[in-house]
Each structure stands twice: as C-alpha cells, then as structure tokens.
Amino acid sequence: MTCLYPGSFDPITNGHLDVIKRALKIFDKVVVAIAQSEHKNPCFSLEKRKDLALLATQNLQNVEIITFTNLLVDLAKELEIKTVIRGLRAVSDFEYELQIGYANNALWSEFETVYLMPNLKNAFISSSIVRSIAAHGGDVSSLVPKEILPFLKEQTCM
C-alpha cells in the first residue's frame, strides 16, 4: 500500500525525514507530494524544493518525490492513493490537521488520514524555524539533512 505525505517542504527537515521513515514502517511506498503553496511565500521554488527532497531521500528505498498544484484529494484520486500521512509536532498541529483531515474526507469519503509524530528530538523542528535560524546566521546542521546544508547557505531569503 502507498501513502501520500504532502507539505511545502521549504526546506525539507530532519523532522520530515523522521516522518517518512516512520511511514515506511507501515506502508510499502511513500509519495512525498510537495505543494506549490504560493500563499506561504516559499523561500525556495517548487523545483528547488523537489531537488532538495530528492537529495535528502536519495538513500531511502520506496520514496517518490513529486510536486502538485491542485487539491490534495484530486491528486490522491489521480494517483489512486487513499491514505495521507500528516506529521504532528504539537497540540496546535493536531487541531489544524484534524480540520484538514475532516475536510479531505468530506471531499472523498475513501480518503483516510494517518497522523504520525516525529521522535522527541525532532518534535520542535519546522521549516519556518529552520529558515529563521538560518536567516540569523545560526547553525541548522542538526535540523536538516546534511545534503541540503550548502543550499541553505546560498539562499538569499534566509
């Protein structure tokens, strides 16, 4: 069985990788679906975010990286994937994700959401925290895959 793991991944973090690895213990394949997310004013272009995710997951089996610009439910129907994985770091994430899960299920009753928590050492990591620390010259080497560190240093929005 295959699952979708959607998000903006701006940039992909160790927390994201942790959720992907946990999902691979449950599912045969994880499709990481990178959303355009223009409303979030992403730091990296959609293609660059895909490239970074490919670099970060290159040693993981059964992970596919794609991009999408449509509704997640429409993408899931198109790919014939009925399960989405969502990462939860805090109670505030759960409240938001629960609403999204209900909305997705209302749009397609066969679409299920599975919530996974990263391990405790990755629980506080978010892409926005990584961008903020990097923008102020802080060390993010323990927060992101080592493969993408050089790209963070050259990015002007950080």
Q: Which of 29, 77, 82, 89 is catalytic?
A: 89
Q: Is 37 annotated as a binding residue?
A: no
pLDDT digits (tens, 9 = 90+) for 59-69: 999 999 999 99
How far is the C-alpha of 145 from the C-alpha of 115, rounded, in Å?
A: 22
Q: Is the pLDDT of residue 97 over 70?
A: yes
What one-letter code names the amino acid at 55?
L
Q: Which of 40, 121, 146, 153 is catalytic?
A: 40
Residue 57: burial class (beta carbons within 10 Å; 0-12, 13-18, 19+): buried
pLDDT digits (tens, 9 = 90+) for 61-94: 999 999 999 999 999 999 999 999 999 887 778 8
Strand locations in 16-122, DSSP E?
Answer: 29-35, 63-68, 83-87, 112-116
Question: Which listed CATH number (3.90.550.40, 3.30.70.270, 2.40.50.100, 3.40.50.620) goes with 2-153?
Answer: 3.40.50.620
Q: Is 125 annotated as a binding residue?
A: yes
How large is the angle between the packed helices 91-107 and 72-79, nearest 10 degrees? 60
